[in-house]
Chains A and B, each alone.
Chain A
Amino acid sequence: MRARAVALATLASVSIVGIGWQLGSQAIDVSQSLTAFTGGTATAATVTATTDAAAQAAATAKAAADAAAAAKAQADAANTAASAQAAADAADASTAAANTAATAQAAATAAAASAAAQSGTFTGAVVQTQFGNMQVSVTIANGAITEVTPLQLTNRGGRSVAISNQAAPILRSEVLAAQSANVQSVSGATYTTQGYLRSLQSALDTAGF
């Protein structure tokens, strides 16, 4: 995995350098997509960051690197290539953002600027996920992402919808009581065969509700 990440990162760098050589000072829009699997339940979040350098670009070169490696491995591998560093950092950021919504899988598409436009702060597009809208701001210095700030994580004031499912203290009078006389089952800590005879469930069963 790590070797693959290094290889792809190197390939991406070579592409960028080669095209940059040809295009001189023209801006290059590099898109890289990578997928990070960190285990756990899979929910996908997509974070997109675009640079305004794209608007100036006379030609656009795209190098796409797919890395299916743990985020740490990617970060290590990425030390060898600036563009991969950016991608890996973006992946880390998206994973971190997704973690707040309890996600473990993140797919990130990061666009890095060319050598001429490699510094600055860029704001990504708003992306809708199952946890709400997500948006990040990326600060790039000398080709490396130095900071990723989540601008919007969810649709609830920055708090995750999933977190809003947190169990909170509640009075007994506030807890759900179905508007129905028909209670057919009782759930409690597992009763023994003997315990069943004294249980509410036993009474309900006899009644045939």
Chain B
Amino acid sequence: MAAIGSDHERTLAGSPVRPAPGLPHAVESARVAARTAARASVDRTWPALTFETMGTMVSLRLADSDAHTVGESARVEAAELAKAMFRRWDERFSLYRDDSELSRIARGDIRLTDSSASVRDAYALALTWRDRSNGVFTPHRADGVIDLSGVVKALAIAEAGAALTSRGLLNWSINAGGDVLVSGEPKGRFGAWEFGDGAMSTGHGVAVPAVVTEHPEWVVAIVNPAYRGDVLASVPLRHPLRAVATSGSAERGEHIWTALNGELSPFRQVSVFAADIVTADVLATAIVAGGEATLNEMTARFAIDVLAVLRDGQLLATPGLHRAE
């Protein structure tokens, strides 16, 4: 594995992205970092909670403060809660499971009109996005089977996030197979309080926000589809664009075909930043499938930022993703 930036302009040499090119080394240094972090009680960094679902992995992070507040058991409990939600969506919607409701609909065992409300809601949502994308995004497979995988993972992420929030966990990050939704901040400024004194003359300790360090934002790295140990950009998920999803062919190596005439997609990879994960996920898929026309229409119609990688490796980006200096 080549070092970051070796075969590119030296854009990342000075970038703040944490280099992790040689993964064995990265993992080892990560373990060292984790051990070091564990010794520092205040700045304790919790490892991500990971679990497998929907054929991929979910990485869940709770901010230091939240994890500190709720303790290890509640933290694991929160992860179990999120896991259960992903499992529920998977059990109902996976076409890889013969006993899922969607598989039964595909076989004709039950009619769509007799299906559960959540299936019909998800189908209606997918149809809405089909219309919004002028048919580029579609919940129908070529053979006519209803395939809701285009929205289900995102819906599961959104639901898991809402569940964490409803439990008072306000600072978290959920990454399901490369689709990321965040809330609050990694250091947990929201809801994170510590006691200081002297700010008021009451003689009582005054609650002040926990120290906000110089890195208060959730930052997501966009992977280089040509070389997945490399990072193209690292973007803070600032309000209101708190979700990002990436579509492309890099991971599994298959070609992406356009929706309309069977031509190859001009895009090797498309990342969409949006306010919600469903929008990000659907539009990333739609832009890959619909090509440049869809890209231009969607950036005009929706409040999104897009980083697209053309087949020759060139980048297209909306102004929001331009480096400031």
B290: CB under 8 A from chain A?
A: no
B110: CB under 8 A from chain A?
A: no
| Smallest CB gap from B303: residue in A | A165
B30 and A191 within 8 A (CB): no
A22: CB under 8 A from chain B?
A: no
B16 and A191 within 8 A (CB): no
Segment among B70-78, B202-210, B314-322 that sits at the interface with chain A = B314-322
| Smallest CB gap from B8: residue in A | A172
**Binary B-proximity of A150-167 (CB < 8 A = 1, otherwise 0):** 000000000010111111
B37 and A186 within 8 A (CB): no
Q: How far is the CA of A171 from the CA of B309 in the complex (A)?
A: 11
The minimal Cβ–Cβ distance linking A14 to chain B, given in whole angstroms, is: 39
B100: CB under 8 A from chain A?
A: no
Residues on B close to A: CB < 8 A?
A: 8-9, 11-12, 15-18, 20, 23, 26-27, 29-31, 33-34, 37, 45-48, 50, 52, 55-57, 59, 61, 131-132, 173, 175, 177-180, 182, 186, 214-215, 217-223, 225, 228-229, 231-236, 244-252, 269, 271, 295-297, 299-302, 306-308, 314-324
A169: CB under 8 A from chain B?
A: yes
| Smallest CB gap from A43: residue in B | B301
The minimal Cβ–Cβ distance linking A184 to chain B, given in whole angstroms, is: 6
Residues on A close to B: CB < 8 A?
A: 39-41, 101-102, 160, 162-193, 195-196, 198-209
A204 and B179 within 8 A (CB): no
Instruction: Enumerate chain B residues within 8 angstroms of A208, measured Cβ to Cβ.
Output: 30, 33-34, 37, 45-48
B179 and A190 within 8 A (CB): yes
Q: How far is the CA of A184 from the CA of B61 in the complex (A)?
A: 8
B317 and A205 within 8 A (CB): no
A-B contact pairs, 11 of them (CB 8 A): A168-B316, A168-B318, A174-B322, A175-B321, A179-B16, A182-B219, A183-B18, A192-B252, A199-B223, A202-B27, A208-B33
Known: A169-B316, A205-B59. 18 other contacts (CB 8 A): A102-B297, A173-B323, A175-B323, A176-B321, A178-B235, A180-B16, A180-B236, A181-B215, A183-B219, A184-B48, A186-B222, A187-B180, A187-B222, A187-B244, A189-B250, A208-B33, A208-B45, A208-B48
Q: A176-B233, A186-B175 are in contact. Are A209 and B45 (CB under 8 A)?
A: yes
Q: How far is the CA of A185 from the CA of B307 in the complex (A)?
A: 16
Q: How far is the CA of A195 from the CA of B23 in the complex (A)?
A: 13
B221 and A187 within 8 A (CB): yes
A207 and B215 within 8 A (CB): no
B48 and A204 within 8 A (CB): yes
Q: How far is the CA of A94 from the CA of B247 in the complex (A)?
A: 36
Instruction: Enumerate chain B residues within 8 angstroms of A206, measured Cβ to Cβ.
Output: 27, 30-31, 34, 47
| Smallest CB gap from A205: residue in B | B48
Instruction: Enumerate chain A residues within 8 angstroms of B15, measured Cβ to Cβ.
Output: 177
Q: A175-B317, A177-B17, A190-B178 are in contact. Are A184 and B56 (CB under 8 A)?
A: no
- Which of A40, A169, A181, A200 is most buried by chain B, counting CB atoms within 10 A of its CB? A200
B45 and A165 within 8 A (CB): no
Instruction: Enumerate chain B residues within 8 angstroms of A188, measured Cβ to Cβ.
Output: 178, 222-223, 225, 228, 246, 248, 250-251, 269
B223 and A200 within 8 A (CB): yes
- Which of A168, A180, A188, A204 is most buried by chain B, counting CB atoms within 10 A of its CB? A188
The minimal Cβ–Cβ distance linking A191 to chain B, given in whole angstroms, is: 5
Q: A163-B300, A184-B61, A203-B30 are in contact. Are A209 and B18 (CB under 8 A)?
A: yes
A187 and B234 within 8 A (CB): no
Q: How far is the CA of A173 from the CA of B232 in the complex (A)?
A: 9
Q: A180-B16, A192-B252, A207-B30 are in contact. Are A199 and B228 (CB under 8 A)?
A: yes
Option from B50, B228, B301 in Cβ contact (under 8 Å) with A162: B301
Option from B30, B50, B246, B295 in Cβ contact (under 8 Å) with A187: B246
B315 and A169 within 8 A (CB): yes
Option from B182, B221, B225, B295 in Cβ contact (under 8 Å) with A167: B295
- Which of A162, A165, A169, A173 is most buried by chain B, counting CB atoms within 10 A of its CB? A165
